[in-house]
Structure 1
Amino acid sequence: MNEGLGVLDIPRFDAALEDFFSRMFEDILAGRVTLESVLLVVAFFGAFAGLTTLAFVFSKQPKEVMLEKPITWITGYGQIMDLLDAAVAQRSKVRVSFHRDLGAARSSDGTLLEAGKDGLVLEMSSIRAINPAWVGRTLELSFRLRMPDNPKLLSTFSFIAEITGYEQLPDEVLLLKLSRPLRLELNQNRMHLRVEPPDKYVRTFRLWAEDHMPRRADLHDPDHWGEPTYSWTYGEENEVKLVNISGGGVRVEIAPAALRTVDNKITVNQHYYAQLTVAAPDFSGFATHYVTLRVLKCFDDCDSRSKLSLGMAFATVGVPNDPPLTGLRWRSVNRDFGVREIDDWAYELHLELYRNKGIA
């Protein structure tokens, strides 16, 4: 030890440490049992056991659980065949390209001629000849359909299939035979996928104009909101109708009688509180949503007393504090994603209506 500086003499410490370990290894090799050799063996195996235990514990930590499948996937055999049959009936153009895992290629267009349980037949009018080596390769395909609930909107579906064979017709038309896809995927931006729900799916829909709320109303408790400005109840004569809905908002129509009798000046950017109860697409249950809405557009004259439809966007969504409902916590709605629960319901209803109604 250097007395003046109060620091350890490093060379002497290294030499002492080296001498200590040398003596212990000599004792172990010679079979002599000493305190130092016992401590070394215990320390070695203790460290090994500790590291093994830590590795086991961390390997058991919960990992992120993946959803069984994205909601945009359509995997039911009946639904897949209905959509493919619709593509045949509507003579939808099919965009075809090689799967990127096998190398990029320019896209070509074709027409789906047949869709059955054994596979698909695709007419490739833009390709005059085929390389036999294409058989067994994977294609990415997409097509667009007009759905019955919104025939003005084209929905895009994509899938992956394998070339199982081909036929070259005398007039140089090429037919590709493809495997039946195991799933279709809806590629449309679902926030803008608007569905027109039949009346039976909308059980109640109530709107409270913000400036009509009771003066001291607790905005976190719907029981304190008073009588709604406009109300809809399934099976009754109503003041408002939900025309269509998406994850981003709604279009509503105010009944002429309500326009004449309700003292409410409707303006763009006006805010409303709303309570919406809807039936599950398969009628397995009901869900109630609390939202606030902002008027984006009057499709008619905002001051009309005979006909008025409003485009309204979701601004906030009320989340129950604890079940049973004891109050709401309001959170802002992301404009890009909308209200997820309503978005999912609209998408599932979209598919249910398609399956039940067929193609428009």
Structure 2
Amino acid sequence: MRPKEPQGMILPFVQQTPTPNFDRPFLNEVKESFHRLWNNPDALPYLVATFLAVGIVIILGVLYNQFVSRRRYRSALPAGWFVDPGKIREIMETALDQRSKIEMRFLPAEPSRRSTSCSLLELGVEALTLELPDYVESGPSWLHREVECFFRVPEEKGQISFYRFTSVIQNVSRTVDGFAQAELAFPKLLHNHQKRNFLRIAPPAYLFLGVAMWLERRLPTDEHGCPAANLSSWGKPMFTYIPDKNGNPVRIANISAGGLRLDIERSAVKGREIELRVSDRIVILLDLYDPELERKQRFWLRCRVQNMQEDYDTRNLELGVQFVSVGRLAEDADREVHWHDVGEDGIEPLAVWVMQRHLELFREKGLD
């Protein structure tokens, strides 16, 4: 005997589902019609073509959605960010062909941690290989550590592009000749920090340890028309900048590997017999502080005045100069300087210094 269902009990969903509008004979008829169509030799090609067309439409729809999503993702990336593996490899291959140095440093970056200048040896499918300097002692402690790398790539018309990426050290080894090598995971993101003639920054004042400026036409010259090598014959500079000194008349507004911009106070020029003109040559002694090396870097620079204007509000003189020669002190005499022409790529040590300071400002303030 079937038990009586309790009052108020909710019946199962299947029992509550209403009967479909079509009955079983109708379903059987549809099934038989489909079976006859499938077994009909004349209709079979049309049926197969229909299935293929539907499949192709579905595949094209999936591919289109992926394409649209990828384009939206790329358009949402900040300017100068590369995520396409092919584009990243193309840039890295250019760096390899140009023998560009890779500056590598461990993360998290700290002032006490110095960057290491490495040579890019090989680009693999999933990794790249760097050759380390002789003085670097690598070992198992390097494995799986995150590093930050940057490099510069010369381009047409003297332009230079600076790139940065982060990676992880996958392996360290030594060749039969004793050269240390590090294998890094191939970067998934490449950041173009700035693309123009030269990366230009306005670093904090504490990084400038001293500036002295001479007007070249007032200096004694050698037989080639360059300033005399003997620094003792130069006399006092026209303007100077000394840290922590009140009343510094000159300030460096920005700097790059190819030039800099000076801001000279109006009071320092007014009433003095100083006639500066565009295309004039000036000589600058520049002392910069390197936080990584914790020491001073000194540059002797022959410059050409490219532009000159007076600030509307302060009446200060703004001077834009281009480096034409870099001086090196003689090995046997620290009071003699010899000049060497500056190429299209600018001054290499200064370019590295500028790029490192730019990275520090980027990390601290999110500059682009």
TM-score, normalised with respect to structure 1: 0.48
TM-score relative to the length of structure 2: 0.47
